[in-house]
Amino acid sequence: MNILPPISNIKRNHPVSLPDATLFPKSIGILAAGILSASVYTCEIDRTPRFIFLGIGIVLIIIAGILLIRYLNQKRTFKQYTPAWEKHKSIYDDFAIELNQWYNSGLIPKSCDGDTAYALHLQKERLNRKGIRMIHYTTPAKDTTGTSYLSRNTVWYSVDTMDERINRHLRFENASGTIYDRKSDDIMYEVVVHTPNEAELHHMTMTCPNCGAVNPVAALTQGCPYCSTVFQIKDLFPRVTNTYFIRNNASMKNVNKRGSTIWITMLVVFLFTFISFLSDRENPIPASLIMSYFVTLIFGGITGLMLSSVLLIIKQFNRDGRKRIPFWSYVTAKGKISRAFAPYDPVFSFEKFEGQIIALIRMTVLADHPENLAFYRGSSFDPYFQDIIEMTYMQALTVNDIHMEGSELCLNLRTWWINYSEHDGAINRRGDCIDVSLRRNTAYMEPPGFSITSVHCPACGASFDSVRQRICPYCGNEYHMENAGFIIEKLELS
């Protein structure tokens, strides 16, 4: 019996295939054999076998050259090839296209939920205030097989965690020109909520895609009470509820670097040993070549493999601040949080929880006036947060503390981010661990699909934007978000 759910794949068709990886070592091997055969001509033997070996050597060298040229042509064609997202292939591709368009032209994404869209809006306001234009462009990796996804079903809906290797280009510009430019190989994750159980539609709430008011999904299918727009389920779901990028240390770029390190090491070892053997005039050239080949394959190959492994390990330790995220604490965090919620929320979804917490942190940091947020109760705010213009969640959180105070569940979590901040016209990229203290009232069941950006006032029933204000503009009552979801009591750098 399988313990883990199966991982599915949406295949991506590449018109240009990867270079044949066997061509290069074949050409090197045949070239080595050709040189060895041709070197027999330097030996003091009969003319006929000398010319035979020379002819064989020349033929082998020509064959090696043909294979090497073929490999280089394939590599050049592959290097010039730029893959692209395919519209309507999947929601993963659609949101990737929309995200590119958002940063290029300001076209609001349609495939994500209201919280994700609002976080992008807050980021845009921060960038505009600082006079910065952000270019964020992604494409599928050239050698990716497609989009992988892992499905999990709940009582309310199904959640897909989708991922694919991508090429990411991030650039910041101001009035003086480009102030930051970086290309990276990443894995882009999207958490997608799919069509809910229709029997639960009257329980599930969602932000109206037209006016932003929060209503039960069943009400939206009959017509939004605030803007009268009628939606079908396919208009409301699926929705991307969280997206983040993880640096890909096993990317093709690193694989190529590892291969290059091994081949360069072998070449250096070969040249050194061949010159050493050749300096002994008693050694014939073919014998010197054979011994050099042997030493190169054994010593050079092992040395190159060890050197490339050390370099790869060094890169793994360069984790942009994750040293404060212990591995064991990271892998056990999901279980700790799920067990803490089990007595109070029988349909608890960690993926939904993680996405909501990340949205809360991102909106708090990117808001110019976090003290006005309905979900923020912090008494102080690190000035560094006001300079952050881009936040990349690195899919890593740990539990510092979980305890109960009456009916309220209190959590202190540590999250890992790669943040880009701007100060005096300079961009600083660094890894940050952000500790967040959260609280929520377990006496109230959180409705699945709850949106942070728009809420219902329990006093008068009006819908308003809880990101910008905690006081209902219609009746003047304070909105107690801890009775409907999480509030942040403290947000600080660890």
For 288, other C-beta atoms within 10 Å of its C-beta total 19
Phi, psi of 492 (to 5 degrees): -150, 155
pLDDT at residue 2, as a whole number: 43
Closest CA to 185 of 202, 200, 165, 157: 165
Residues contacting residue 187 through CB under 8 Å, at least 6 positions apart? 163, 164, 165, 166, 245, 246, 248
Residues contacting residue 39 through CB under 8 Å, at least 6 positions apart? 57, 285, 286, 289
Question: What tens digit of pLDDT does each residue of 2-15 get?
Answer: 444 567 889 998 88
For residue 478 the two structure tokens come to 């304070």
Q: Are 407 and 446 in contact (CB under 8 A)?
A: no
Angle at which helix 252-278 crosses helix 285-295, to 10 degrees, equals 140
For residue 457 the two structure tokens come to 């006032």
Q: Which residues of the chain have pLDDT under 70?
A: 1-6, 249-256, 312-324, 445-456, 463, 466-469, 482-484
Q: How is 21-85 classified by DSSP, letter by letter?
A: TTHHHHHHHHHHHHHHHHHGGGSSS-HHHHHHHHHHHHHHHHHHHHHHHHHHHHHHHHHH-----
Cα separation, 90 vs 85, in Å, equals 10
Cα separation, 372 vs 470, in Å, equals 6
- According to DSSP, residue 3 is labeled S
Question: What tens digit of pLDDT does each residue of 414-439 get?
Answer: 999 999 999 989 999 998 999 999 99
CA 396 to chain centre: 12
Cα separation, 223 vs 212, in Å, equals 13
Residues contacting residue 49 through CB under 8 Å, at least 6 positions apart? 40
pLDDT at residue 323, as a whole number: 58
pLDDT at residue 68, as a whole number: 93
147 forms bridges with which residues in the sheet?
10
Cα separation, 403 vs 412, in Å, equals 9
Cα separation, 176 vs 43, in Å, equals 68
CA 398 to chain centre: 19
Question: What tens digit of pLDDT does each residue of 68-85 get?
Answer: 999 999 989 988 998 999
Q: Are 159 and 59 in contact (CB under 8 A)?
A: no
pLDDT at residue 421, as a whole number: 96
Q: Are 193 and 243 in contact (CB under 8 A)?
A: no
Give kind and range of the element (H or E) at residue 241.
Answer: strand 239-247
Question: What tens digit of pLDDT does each residue of 307-337 get?
Answer: 877 776 665 555 555 556 788 888 899 999 9
Place of tokens 């270079």: 19
Q: What angle do CA 414, 415, 416 make, to 5 degrees?
A: 130
pLDDT at residue 415, as a whole number: 93
pLDDT at residue 253, as a whole number: 60
pLDDT at residue 3, as a whole number: 46
For residue 36 the two structure tokens come to 């060895």
pLDDT at residue 403, as a whole number: 95
Place of tokens 């990867």: 18
Cα separation, 400 vs 340, in Å, equals 13
For residue 154 the two structure tokens come to 């709940």
pLDDT at residue 94, as a whole number: 96
Radius of gyration of the chain (CA): 30
Which pTM does this prediction carry? 0.77
12: three-class secondary structure by DSSP: coil
pLDDT at residue 1, as a whole number: 36
Cα separation, 105 vs 458, in Å, equals 38
**Average confidence score pLDDT of the chain:** 85
For 471, other C-beta atoms within 10 Å of its C-beta total 14
pLDDT at residue 470, as a whole number: 72
